[in-house]
Amino acid sequence: MTAAEATHSGSIGLFPGQGSQFVGMGAGLVGRFVEAAAVFDEASDAIDTDLRALCWQSSAAELAATENAQLAIAVCSVAAWRVWTANRHDAEPEAVAGHSVGALPAAMASGHLTLRDGIRLVRTRAQLMGGVPRTGSMLAVSVTSDAMLQDVLANADRFSLDIAARNGARQVVLSGSVGGVEAAKAYFGARSRALDVSNGFHSRAMDPVVDAWSEAVAEAAFSDGEGAAYVASTTGRVASNTADVTRDLITGLRRTVRWDLVIGDATRARWITFGPGGALARFGRGLVRADDITNVDDSFVGASSVSASSSGASSAERRAHAR
């Protein structure tokens, strides 16, 4: 089943990936909603880490480190989900999907993982990825036609790069060695932009930790799930069972994020982004009306919907998701 079949006339919940973090994230939700505060408390206890301090007292550079950013994004995203479902239960999404590390909050939201087990997996993933020798980089390339898309896909091999993400019809992210990214940037010119990342994520650079990540997911306690359907970030298809969810989480460490399939199949659905989802909302331009996108972030105040066009997303929140 595709995301479209799961959300034909309903809504899809979207969870952001690394790159959307900013100092102070989550403070607004925690300050207004007991549900958000409870998520921070439980998640902090589960991994023996003060996630309030991590999100609010780290420097920008500290928070951007993979080991920290993924935890911060996950806890804020789940906090936003809990706030929304507690205050807008009548509008709970019929399906959920997450961009890269956002797949783990999506698995929590769909009931396949508890918060405690989920945040522990986030920590493991972040530590594994952050521990890979830093020899890579990433490049976002804008595409405005099918011919340009095919040019990017064809030249990835030429520069020994992998397709890290297809973020919709207008952006492809390449990943691999620093030298390969520099050569690709010279070729693609002004329509490309080097991303501020510490490595070449979603590429062969992650191969050394694939086995360890697979073992960690296999050892985690998953359930059959309840409520919203889980949409795989690597295929854009709705998971039929827990095995589909774990497969997506495992392969998602290395494989291309097929966000184009996730959002392209949900063009008639209302979008609800959870956490710092400004970039996800931007990927929806041309697919859904601004009034049909709601950001549940630190500007969310309760029962009334907050559209992407009026959410006040910061520039940090609008950075392209690549990891």
Catalytic residue among 99, 137, 177, 202: 202
pLDDT given at position 2: 52
What is the structure's pLDDT at 303? 58
Tally of CA atoms within 13 A in the half-sphere of 23 that contains its CB: 7
Tell me whether residue 155 is exposed, middle or buried, using C-beta atoms within 10 angstroms of its C-beta: 0 to 12, 13 to 18, 19 or more.
middle
| pLDDT tens figures, 145-178 | 999 999 999 999 999 999 999 998 889 999 999 9
Distance CA 46, CA 38 (A): 12
Q: Token pair for residue 282?
A: 């931007």
Confidence of residue 322 (pLDDT cuts 50, 70, 90): very low
Residue 278 has what pLDDT? Answer: 79
Label residue 292 by pLDDT band (50, 70, 90): confident
The residues near 118 (Cβ < 8 Å, ≥ 6 apart) are: 74, 78, 104, 105, 107, 108
Q: Is 202 a catalytic residue?
A: yes
CA–CA distance, 25 with 23 (Å, rounded to integer): 6
The ranges assigned to domains in the chain are 3-131+205-310, 136-197
Q: What is the pLDDT of residue 6?
A: 53
Residue spans of beta strands (DSSP E) within 143-252: 162-166, 171-177, 192-194, 229-230
Alpha-carbon distance of 219 to 233, in angstroms, equals 21
Residue type, 163: I
CB 189 within 8 A of CB 142: no
Share of the chain above pLDDT 90, in %: 74
Interatomic CA distance for residues 33 and 26, integer angstroms: 11
226 compared with 38, residue with greater pLDDT: 38
CATH fold group of domain 3-131+205-310: Malonyl-Coenzyme A Acyl Carrier Protein; domain 2 (3.40.366)
- Beta-bridge partners for 142: 171
**Token code pair at residue 130:** 């952050």
Q: What is the pLDDT of residue 277?
A: 76
d(CA 71, CA 57): 14
Please list, in sequence order, all residues whose beta carbon lies within 8 angstroms of the beta carbon of residue 107, skipping any fewer than 6 positions away: 98, 113, 118, 222, 230, 245, 249
**Superfamily holding 136-197:** Malonyl-CoA ACP transacylase, ACP-binding (3.30.70.250)
- Set 11, 77, 100, 110: catalytic member: 100
Catalytic residue status for 100 = yes
Q: Which of 11-25, 28-42, 201-215, 288-302 has the lowest mean pLDDT?
A: 288-302
